[in-house]
Amino acid sequence: MRQGSCVLGLAIGLWCGGAAAATLQGVVSDKEGKPVPGAFVMATQGERKMTTTVVSDAAGHFAITDLFPEKYTLAATRIGYAPDKIADFQLAVGGGKRDFKLTTTDPTDQLPGNMWVAALPDGEFKARFITGCTICHDPGSKTIRKPRTEQDWAEKIELMSKRLDIYSVIPKFDTKELAAWMIAQKYGSKPADVPVPDPGKDATARSTITIYDVGYPDSWAHDMVVEPATGAAWVGDYPYDELVRVDPVTGEQKRFKLPTKGGGMHTLHFDKAGKLWITLQLADMVTSFDPATGAFQLYRGFRKGSLIHSFAYDEQGLIKLDAKGRMWLSEFGTNTIASLNPETGDIKEYELLGKEGHTYGIALDSKGKVWFTKYVENVYGMLDPDSGQVTEKQMPRPESAPHRMSIDDEDRLWIPNSSYGTLARYDIKTDTLKEYPLPDKDTFPYASRFDGATGTVWVQGNGSNSLYRFDPKTEKFTSYRMPLNTAYGRMVAFDYKTGAVWTSLSNYPNKHTERLTGSLVRFTGVEPPQR
Ligand code: HEC
């Protein structure tokens, strides 16, 4: 049951009678009256900016519990069927009933992006295309894959690489060559013949999904974190320089303005004392934030153009300090790893090998060595902070895109390889690497997160609008689907008290998606790993 429904900061007229305990139930069926299993049934409370979703069972039945007795927009959707929607549905204190009737439709525009990318021929060229063209948005979204002339493709590719690519992530493409390739492959004309995701047949069926819309039309909810003490979700609004606290129960949002302009809030982690640490990617700074006082403290002195990316963190998702009390950060823009002593403010920067930047994931192992991945150079590697020595290794396949990795409690790195749709396991102790293909072909994962509570690894799956859980013991994946067609996710976060798993969505730009703001997505009812 959700507690505390009556809050300040939300519109008046909301229910103030205590816990949210109303249940909406009904049956989803087709025109002939046959049950439709595996449909998403979504209840949206617009003022709270919350959408709660469940999946219909084999009998077409669904029940959404713990709702407020308020007005909802309801919808049932399933790939292959036109959505059935109703606005202004007043849910009574004692709950309510609503059935849905779905009629079949052409599924083309409902298919996930990976099914379009999977239609491209496998190989190094495609891997390069995925590396360059999936880092900001989903190339399988309707806007991108619509039919274009060669000239139009060339103009768009030119626009991407010359004007929009402020992070220099698009690997040097010959514009004409890529445009000609898109035409030769008839990109967007036919999806690949790979299985269509069915949320009724995977772990999604047994979970509840809540979407929280955060910010404004051009907001960018890049990373998020769950506050261990309160369960609140915190997210940085990248272009607006605002830190947002979201109450997962009531949906209430509070915004805190950063004391500097053009910060570009990127990654967030709490420390053991309950303080929040945030990288300010566009300002070459780090800030701390005290939720008790609302005070920010800025740390300057990083290289210009460093585009500070991530912190090394521990199994609980908390900032991990080394034996000398230093935190470790990756600098995406300057091919650098940095340490910051939070007590003294001392910063030390270590240049990596190679010349391209794009240092993404960072992790501190049990021996105090600092590991990193580099997105564009096909590289993962290690910095020995004592000697300053850097070792870099190549991923087995050329044009791999080792993205934002995490480390587990046995010194194994879990590296999402975006361009080949795999999760790679690098065992530091044995110096061996193994790649596991994700359940949906040509998913382009962004981040992985080790879950210390269950010993499993979560991978965020762009293109297939999914989160996957990988169990290192059984070497099997479980799929959790989001009820969105362009759920372009970034970070994964855990609420260790409730077992909820969260992710933040931020396609760039939002207008290519059906959610025009940034969003957070929470899965509850996540079952323990099946061993
Ligand atoms: C740095 C981020 C970034 C990268 C990398 C990127 N894009 Fe984009 N893309 C954007 C943004 C932002 C827009 C929206 C532009 C607008 O409408 O103003 C966009 C829009 C598009 C559009 C739609 C234009 C339209 O018709 O509205 C296409 C097609 C496209 N991108 C293709 C690509 C391809 C192909 C690649 C890889 C070569 C790529 N993008 C890489 C940011 C990016």
> What's the pLDDT score for residue 1?
56
Q: Is residue 99 domain-shared with residue 130, that is, in the same domain?
A: no
Ligand 1 binding pocket includes 136 (Cβ within 6 Å): yes
Q: Which of 253, 262, 247 is nearest to 215 (CA)?
A: 253
Is residue 117 in contact with ligand 1, taking CB distance under 6 Å?
A: no
Q: Which atom of ligand 1 is nearest to the CA of 132?
A: 37
Best of 131, 138, 156, 376 to mutate for ligand 1, by most ligand atoms within 8 A of CB?
156
- Could you tell me the distance, in angstroms and rounded to a whole number, from the CA of residue 162 to the centre of ligand 1? 11
Among the three residues 58, 86, 106, which one is the final residue of a domain in this structure? Answer: 106
482 ligand 1 Cβ < 6 A: no
Q: How far is the CA of 130 from the centre of ligand 1 (A)?
A: 13
Whether 12 is covered by a domain: the verdict is no
Note whether 122 and 51 are within 8 A (CB). no
CATH number for the domain including 496?
Answer: 2.130.10.10
Cβ atoms within 10 Å of 268's Cβ, excluding its own: 25
Nearest CA to ligand 1 atom 14: 509
CA 4 to centroid of chain Cα atoms: 28
Of 149, 184, 219, the residue that ends a domain is 184
Name the closest-CA residue to atom 23, ligand 1.
Answer: 144
**Triad 86, 90, 96: Cα angle to 5°:** 90
C-alpha dihedral sign at 61, 513, 143, 506: negative
Would the CB of 385 count as within 6 Å of ligand 1? no
CA of 527 to the centre of ligand 1 (A): 38
Instruction: For Cα atoms 248, 134, 222, give the angle at the middle one, nearest 5 degrees.
Output: 30
Ligand 1 atom closest to the Cα of residue 170 is 5
Domain count, the chain: 3
Indicate if 92 and 227 belong to the same structural domain: no
Domain with 115 in it: 110-184
We report the CATH number of the domain holding residue 39 as 2.60.40.1120
CA angle 474, 477, 482 (to 5 degrees): 155
**pLDDT at position 8:** 47
Residues of the chain with pLDDT under 70: 1-13, 357
Please report the pLDDT score of residue 356 as a whole number: 77
